[in-house]
Amino acid sequence: MRAKITIIGAGFVGSTAAHWIASKELGDVVLLDIAEGIPQGKGLDLAESAPIEGFDLKIIGTNDYADTANSDVIVVTSGAPRKPGMTREDLIKINAKITRDCISKAAPLSPKAVIIMVNNPLDTMVYLARQVSGFPKERVIGQAGVLDAARYRTFIAMETGVSVEDIQAMLMGGHGDEMVPLPRFTTIGGIPVTDFIPAARLDEIVERARKGGGEIVNLLKTGSAYYAPAAATVQMVEAVVRDKNRVLPAACYLTGEYGLNDMYFGVPCVLGAGGVKKIIQLNLNNDEKALVAASAAAVKSSIEALKGMDLDA
């Protein structure tokens, strides 16, 4: 039996993720959105590409959560982007209301699903999703590290002129500005990246990766990144539905790992059927520990801001 994958949010990230899920034949796709006609139109359009591309599965667009019942994976991309003049707290409150609504409707219909959160602020929204769903921590995870690592690897490939396929990178921390690079765990063909790139230049590449989303927003003027975020999401979906046991950075709920408790934070993990199978604890040096602590403080602050909000106001 094919897996059933629900994507909540039929915007650019959601619809692009649906496209790649279909092309990889990872499972039947339900594309859900509150906007009438948008998910139905995009779902039908994608289904009509199947005879040409040669994938054979069921794709529907809907506004009805009943169509998502018994999903194996639920991906949540719905959320508002941060606009000029909007504070971090404004964004948290807006997207927290959206997240609570999505999860409260979808989770009871698919009690065995793995939930992958994509909306921002990522670590805070995945924390809320676990609270609302009541799911085990292993089955509620956030996508950010795969995207940040992909940007990091892309810029290293550009700098060195080697294939991105030969670049392996691991990082930790919150998404974007809170990203914690780990050059010691970054290699090109098994060779330390520091053998290819001087430390000062590598610092510049890391900073570009941190600001990767903002760079694209500035270029597009009226939108944000969606190809790479969608691809990163699909890599996680594939790891779950095909039980691939991939070692990937993801936002996981921590209960003492790295000295952190009651929070979601980007860490390396083993991802497969049922979600997170293992959190990998790296032996960090003092400099890396300091960066992790600073990132964790920023993430914790966002989660505490969420706890203090009245989402019904």
Beta bridge partners of 34: none
Respond yes or no: is residue 19 known to be catalytic. no
Distance (Å, whole) CA 256 – CA 247: 20
Q: How many CB atoms lie within 10 A of CB 31?
A: 31
Q: Which listed residue (175, 250, 265, 302) is catalytic?
A: 175
Q: Where are the beta strands (DSSP E) in 23-135?
A: 28-32, 59-62, 73-76, 114-117
CA distance 214 to 209: 10
Determine contact, residues 234/21, Cβ cutoff 8 Å: yes
Q: In the numeric block, which tokens belong to residue 155?
A: 């810029």
Report the C-alpha gap between 250 and 173 in whole angstroms: 9
- Closest listed residue to residue 146, CA positions, set 234, 260, 253: 234
DSSP state of 10: -
Kindly tell me the burial class for residue 219, based on how many C-beta atoms sit within 10 Å of its own C-beta (0-12, 13-18, 19 or more). exposed
Two structure tokens written together for 272: 């497969």
User: Annotated active-site positions, please?
Assistant: 175
